[in-house]
Each structure stands twice: as structure tokens, then as C-alpha cells.
A and B are shown apart, each in its own frame.
Chain A
Amino acid sequence: MADTLWIGTRKGLFSLRSDRARRRWKLGGPQLLGHIIHHVVQDSREPRVLLLAVRTGHLGPTVMRSVDRGRSWCEAAAPPAFRKAGAGAEARAVQRVFWLSAGHRSESGTWYAGSSPAGLFRSTDGGERWEPVAGFNDHPMRPQWAAQATPDGEFLHSILIDPRDPQHLYIAISIGGVFESTDAGANWTPLNEGCAADFLPDPAVPFGHDPHCVVQHPLMPDRLYQQNHCGIYRLDRPGRRWQRIGKAMPRKVGDVGFPIVLHPIDPDRVWVLPMDGRTVWPRTSIDGRPAVYVTADAGESWRRLDRGLPRSQAWFTVLRQAMCTDRHSRPGVYFGTTAGEVWASTNGGESWRCIVRHLPEIYSVTHAA
């Protein structure tokens, strides 16, 4: 099976296609040169279909769709947009479509999109026409949940659809917290118990947290992991209290980061890429020595994986959508940096090599079969 990585950057879309052994990678692109690509997602239900979240420096945000495995792209006829505000009401406009998730396998053509400022949108026609999910966007608590605490507005991301139940959704808002719906988005409740929010005057709040990335294991959908601004967490449903599994990380490294990625079949194994969250939050690799950490026991313990990565003076930043795994039984792990490099491991992170350099700032690295 050949693999493709889609690389969304601040200046266009690239692809990396491997041979069967994942030893050689061929760079394709740029497509949409100059466009800001926030996310590229393959439709697992219909693999020839991909969606990408895009804007340019001048123009408003939109979604593009490919039905030929990324050879060509067409813009959505009705991109995600908030409802027109009535007189005196808050007039929100989508600044960026930040996140895309394909819907449940039983709902062919359904997609979800998350935006900044925080908005949730749904398409039921394969990404051609998008409608606001009123249950979230117009929820009476939404102005408190996503309180415009950052100048760009909050980012809505990590839209998770329970593989057992298309009505059961999770979303995350940075800053805002994790929220759950059991009725296809008609209503939402916060799900942040146990998460720290040490940047707030009252850290024991029900929402207002800063989840950076939340993942749900497809084979054990009651298992959630979260990389938060304030640590790494695991939640086993129906429990409601997140456990800070990042406490087992080395003290000198800490448990701050953006991405967290799943093993395709082992729910106890996840990878993170810690970053420096000290003082003024450089958000680079810690002490200039990048390393991935893996747990094989659901966060009870962590192991450093840095063979092949630079030993010093490498100030990586890896954003939340810029790390992924493939679907091999011994999965490849990949990440892209804001300095335009893509690093790959085909042995579960045991060793790493750089497979491309000199791309624009990387926002998203996603795998496509």
C-alpha cells in the first residue's frame, strides 16, 4: 500500500507520496500556491474525496473539494458562514475554516467544519453547501463558552464523531474547552472536569479550558486523549473526569504541546511532541532538542523517541494538525514543522528522518490511503 501525506502550508498545498516500503517519498505541488491551507482531510468513506480548509491573505475563508484524490479542486458553492445577525445581535463572521472532519460512515456526504471565531458547521452533500449547527452556534451559553478571549477569536477543532453513533459528537474550543452532544449537535454540555486551567483566576471552572487537540480511538470510542495547554489527559467514558497522564512525563520536559496522535489499532499507544511552555511560551522544542514521546500503557509511562532528530539547536514548532500516523500495523508517524520540514518514522517513532525541507510554514500533515 502506497501512502500519501497531504501537507497544508501557509503558502499552498503539497503532497508526499511514498513507495510501498515508505522509504522514498516524492514531493508533489504546490497546488493553490499562495493559499493558506489549514486542514486537508480524506473521506475515509469515499477515499477519492478530499476536502481542504483554505483562505488567502486578502480573501475570505472557504472550503475546496476534490473528487479525484487531490488532482483538482473546486470551491464549495456555499462555504461555512454564520447566520446574518439581526439588529443589535452579535455579528460574527468566519475568519478561517480551521478544522474538517468527515461524518459518520452511515451518513455518506456528511462533513463537519470548525472555524474561528468558534463556529460549527455541517454539510450533508459532500462539502458543497454548509449550514451552521445552530445547536452550538446559537446556544445561549455559547458567548460564555467561547468568549472571544483571544484577538482572532477561539478556534473550534477536534470534531469527533462516535463511530457507534452519529448523534454522539465531541468538539474542542481553544480557548473554551471540550463539549459533548448526544443529539447530533442540537445541545451541548461541557466536559472538562479534571482539566487544569491554571491561566484563569479560578482554575476550577466548568469551561474556559484550552484543549489543543483531542482524539478518540476508532476501535475503543470510549477512550479519549487530550493534549491541552495545561497538560496531557485521558478520559475513559462514561467517566467525566479527565486524568492528567502527562504527570508521568519527565519533569524537565513537562506535558505541554499541540498535537497528540493515535495508534491505528492499539488504544493504549499515543504519541505527543512536547514544546516549551515556560515563561513567555516559546512553543519550540525544549532546549532546542526535539523529541517525540510515546506511551504504550495509556499514559502510565512515557518514552523519549529522538533517534535521528537533531541533537541541539533545533527549535521546532509543530502545530496541532501537523502530526499524524498512517494505518500500517507498525504505523508510520509523521510531523511537519513551522520551518517547513517533514519528519517521518516508519517504525513507530523509534527513528526519524527528514523527508522534505524548505516548504512554507506547515499547518497540517494528514495521511491518505
Chain B
Amino acid sequence: MPCTVRIASPLRSYTAGAGAVTARGRTLAEVLGSLEERCPGIRFRMIDEQDRIRPHLRLFVNSSEARELTAKVADGDTVHVVCALSGG
């Protein structure tokens, strides 16, 4: 199932500068796996080795925040990768 993944600026070195890329999958885990195939290395910067979303990242499927990689993704959905950092 194709979906759109919107990429935050800290991760665009992996997407040749693209702010949105297409990926496939029925769950967030599958979408991130698809993204990793296309953009090697990107997943580990977002998801740690225990499959936890890194503390300064938030993932949304459309407008709903997904806190687990088991979150469902449907054909035509948009996955947003949002970076959140405070301080200087």
C-alpha cells in the first residue's frame, strides 16, 4: 500500500533533500522498513535498536500520533516524521 512519508529537515540528508517520499506498508514498522530500503540508515536515526521511537521524534499517521510501530497505515495515508527539540 503506497503512502506518503513527510520527512523533517534533520533527516533529509537521507532523502537527497526531498521533503516527502513514497513508501509502502500496512503498519508503521513496514512503512519504516520500506523507507529504510529506499534511504539506507534513516530508520536507526529515528528508531532505536529496541524498536522504540527516539525521544526527540514524533510519528503521526495523518493527524493521529503513533506511539508504537504496530500502528496501522492505509493506502493513501500520510506519515509525518516530526522532530521536537528544546533548548539551544
Contacts and interface: CB of A to CB of B under 8 A. Distances in A.
Interface stretch (A54-62, A142-150, A266-274): A54-62
Interface string B1-18: 000000010110000000
B75 to A, nearest CB: 29
B56 A58 contact: yes
A59 B8 CA distance: 11
A93 B50 contact: yes
A359 to B, nearest CB: 15
A94 B49 contact: yes
Interface stretch (A74-82, A298-306, A319-327): A74-82
Contact count band on B = 20 to 34
Contacts of B85: 57-58
Contacts of A85: 50
Interface string A64-103: 0000000000010101011111000001111000000000
Nearest to B8: A58
B81 to A, nearest CB: 10
B44 A93 contact: no
Contacts of B49: 81-84, 93-94
Interface in B1-54: 8, 10-11, 40-41, 44-52, 54
B44 A60 contact: yes
A59 B41 contact: no
A77 B8 contact: no
A77 B40 contact: yes
B41 A93 contact: no
A326 B10 CA distance: 35
Interface residues of A, number: 18
Contacts of A57: 56, 85
A93 B28 CA distance: 20
A324 B84 CA distance: 35
A188 B77 CA distance: 51
Contacts of A56: 10
B48 A62 contact: no
A92 B40 CA distance: 23
A79 B44 contact: yes
Contact of A62 (B11, B44, B50, B57): B44
A81 B44 contact: yes
Interface of B: 8, 10-11, 40-41, 44-52, 54, 56-57, 83-85
Interface of A: 56-60, 62, 75, 77, 79, 81-85, 91-94
6 contacts: A58-B54, A59-B11, A59-B45, A82-B50, A93-B52, A94-B48
